[in-house]
Structure 1
Amino acid sequence: MHRARRIRDERGALSIEFLLVISALMLVFLVMLQYAVKAHAHRVAEAAAEEALASASAYDGSAASGEQAGNHTLSDLGTLSNTTVVVTRSGTTASATVTGDVEQLVPFLPVHVTVRIEGPVEQFVESP
């Protein structure tokens, strides 16, 4: 009788353990998936920043043309939300900064992406 009572006390323990393990595995899977989505979004932001910089640093380019090129690239690729493209150009250098929000898969874990690149401005140099 004592042995039958012990078996009844443990009934359902395996189900609870199974749910805890499955919950932990799902959380790990979602975190890995969120990392992959962030890595992709970072590459999209890099591509947009590279296009913006190429347009702004061209011989006849401007900061406005760089921002337009960056926004156009972001709209084509379309994986970031709340994006901003800021391009600055001086006499010798140009820089492009792209920021945006990544799709949130894990609750309470907002993910943002910021990419800033800089390069020289093309200049006309007369040959000697």
Structure 2
Amino acid sequence: MLHAGRLGTWWRGWRWRDDRGDTSIQMAIVYPFVLLATIAVVQASMWFYARQIALTAAREGLTAARAYQASPADGTARAHEVLERAAGDSLRGYSVSVTSNGQRVQVQVSGSAMSMIPGVSGLQVSQSASGPVERWTVPGE
């Protein structure tokens, strides 16, 4: 018959030997999910940043295109200036289109965000801004 004190010691020793390598197995199971979540957060951040760059370029292009006696070409040029300065590798393959009907101007900037996954072209980004064309008016008309 085992003494109560010896039984507790025996049980703790047996349990300790039984758990060896448990942490390594747990890390092997959990680590891929942690890595995947980290990559997803970084990819989402890069997509959001590319959207902000596209929106900034669209807004700047709109400001230039809607100015008094400005043309859509002025808006396109200004949007390209902003993209060349700010986009870097964050917004790739971008394009700018400016449309005007004489009353309103719309500037649309499209491209793709940089991808963390090799071989994948990235997430598509498209932002636009629109506003009325500035014009000279006579008070009271």
Normalising by the smaller structure, the TM-score range is 0.7 to 0.9
Partner of 1:102: 113
2:72 to 53, 63, 87: 63
Are 1:34 and 2:70 counterparts? no
Is residue 2:9 matched to residue 1:21?
Answer: no
Residue 86 of structure 1 pairs with residue 65 of structure 2: no
Q: Is the 8 A contact 2:114 2:121 kept in 1?
A: no
Task: Name the count of aligned residue pairs.
Answer: 122
TM-score, with structure 2 as normaliser: 0.76
Whether the 8 Å contact between 1:31 and 1:106 is mirrored in structure 2 is no
Larger Rg: 2
Q: Distance in 2 between matches of 1:118 and 1:51?
A: 11
For structure 2, which runs of at least 5 residues remain unmatched after alignment? 1-16
| Superposed displacement of residue 18, structure 1 | 1.5
Deviation >2 Å, runs of 4+: 10-17, 106-110
Give deviations 1:54-83, integer Å, cap 9, x for gaps: 111111211111111001100100231100
User: What is the RMSD computed on CA atoms of the aligned residues?
Assistant: 2.2
Q: Could you say what secondary structure the match of 2:43 adopts?
A: helix
The one-letter amino acid paired with 2:103 is: T
Matched, 1:50 2:59: yes
TM superposition score normalised by structure 1: 0.84
Percent of aligned pairs with the same residue?
27
Matched, 1:127 2:136: no
